Amino acid sequence: MADVYINRISSFLPNNPVPNSDMEDYLGFINGGKSKSKNIVLRNNGIEQRYYAMDKNGIATHSNAELAAIAIRKLFDTPDEIGEIELLACGTTNPDILLPSHAVMIHGLLKEASSIEVISNSGACCSAMQSFKHAYLSVKADDKKKVVCCGSERFSTLMRANSFKEEVEHLKRMEQNTYIAFEKDFLRWMLSDGAGAFLIENKKNEVGLSLRVEWIEICSFANELETCMYMGADKDSDGNIVAYQDMSMQEIVQKSVLSLKQDVKLLSENIINKGFEFLCNLLHSKGIKVDDIDYFLPHISSYFFKPKVYDILEKNGMPIPYERWFMNLKTKGNVGAGSIYLMLEELFNGGKLKKGDKILLAVPESARFSYAFSYLTVC
C-alpha cells in the first residue's frame, strides 16, 4: 500500500488576539453582572489569549465554513493547485447549519476546486482526526493521491450573553438563581475560533520536510460511559439525554438547549484515565518506547490536566518528559477540533523539526469519551 505524507500544513486565526481582560467585552455580561466562574476557569486552564470570529458588537466576521476555506487556501500557492484536490474531509463540533453538511459548505466556498468527493465528520475534538484518518486511508489504499483534511470551529457567537437571555429571564420569573448553570458558563471561558488544514499526498516533498503518517488509531468508550458534553439536548434526572427534537420550542429557548454544556464531574473522573491508559497500551502493543517519541502533542482543554496526563503516562510505563511536549493552548486557545491542526502547524512550520524525528498526536474528546492518536515520522 502507498506511503502517506502530510506535505503542507496551514492555519487561520481570525482578527486580533483577545486577552483574558477583554473577553467579556466580546462575550457580554449575563444578567448585567460579571461571571462568577470566569477567573476560576481561566486560572485553571492557563489560556492567556484566543481568537474570535466576531467583533465586540457580536457581529460575525467569518462563518465556520469560511474559517476552514481560508485555511485550505493557505495550503496552496495558486488557484490551479486547489483544482487538483481529489478529496475534501472536514470535521467540526459546531457547523454553521444542520443541512447541507459542513464539508460541502466549505467546498462551495472553494470555487477554484473541481467537483470532488467530500466528507463531513461530526462530533467534537475527534471529528477532525476522523477526517484526517479518512484522508489517510484514501491515500493509503491508492484511491486518491491529493487530499485535504481540515478541522475548524466557531464557538464565539454561541457563547454571547444574549444566547442565554431567555433562560435568565425565565429563572427570574421562577425566582431562581439568575446565573446560568456552571456547565454552560464554564465553557464560555474555554473555547475559541480558528481552523487548520493538512495537504496529504502519496509522495513526500522533493524540497523541505514531510511527515510520514505511520498510523492513526481512534477509539470510543461510549459503551461504558454516559454523555459528558452535549448540545441540542438536555439531561434528565437519570442522566439520560433528551434531544431538542423531543422538546417544545418554549423548552428549547428557556433552557438554552442549543448552547454547549459539559458535565464537569464526569469530565474530571474519566477524560484522562480512559484515553491515556488506552494510549499506553497502544504504544506498548506497537513496540514504541519513550525514547521513540521526540515530540508529544496532547490536545488538552486546560493546563490543569497536564500533570494528570503525565501521571497516567508514568504509571503505565510511558513517562514522556515535559521537554518533549509541544502545546500552544496558552497563545492559540482551545479551538476544539482545530486544535491539533494548529499545534502541528506551529511545530511543522517553526523550524524545529529534523529528519527522523517522531511525533505523537493525542486528542481526547469528552462528548462521550472518544480518543484519537497518530504517530508521524519527519522525513
202: which residues sit within 8 A by CB, 6+ positions away? 2, 3, 4, 5, 139, 142, 145
Q: What is the C-alpha separation between 154 and 257, in angstroms, rounded?
A: 18
Say whether pLDDT at 178 is over 70: no
Where in the chain are the domains?
A: 5-208, 213-378
* pLDDT per position as a tens digit, 203-233: 999 999 999 999 999 999 999 999 999 999 9
Give me the phi and psi of 317, to 5 degrees please.
80, 20
- The pLDDT, as a whole number, for residue 168 is 63
Q: What is the C-alpha separation between 126 and 106, in angstroms, rounded?
A: 19
**Residue 183 pLDDT grade (very low, low, confident, very high; cuts 50, 70, 90):** confident
* pLDDT per position as a tens digit, 46-68: 999 999 999 999 999 999 999 99
**Residue 185 pLDDT grade (very low, low, confident, very high; cuts 50, 70, 90):** confident
User: What is the H or E stretch that residue 102 is in?
Assistant: helix 102-109
**Sequence-ordered alpha helix ranges (H) in 163-263:** 165-173, 182-188, 249-254
SS (H, E, C) 62-99: CCHHHHHHHHHHCCCCCHHHHCCCCEEEEEECCCCCCC
Say whether pLDDT at 166 is over 80: no
* pLDDT per position as a tens digit, 324-340: 999 999 999 999 999 99
- The pLDDT, as a whole number, for residue 328 is 98
Mean of pLDDT values over 65-94: 97
For domain 213-378, is the CATH number 3.40.50.300?
Answer: no
Same fold, 5-208 and 213-378: yes
The structure's pTM equals 0.96
CATH of 5-208, one of 3.30.70.260, 1.10.10.10, 3.20.20.10, 3.40.47.10: 3.40.47.10
- The pLDDT, as a whole number, for residue 65 is 98
Say whether pLDDT at 175 is over 70: no
Q: What is the C-alpha separation between 163 and 26, in angstroms, rounded?
A: 13
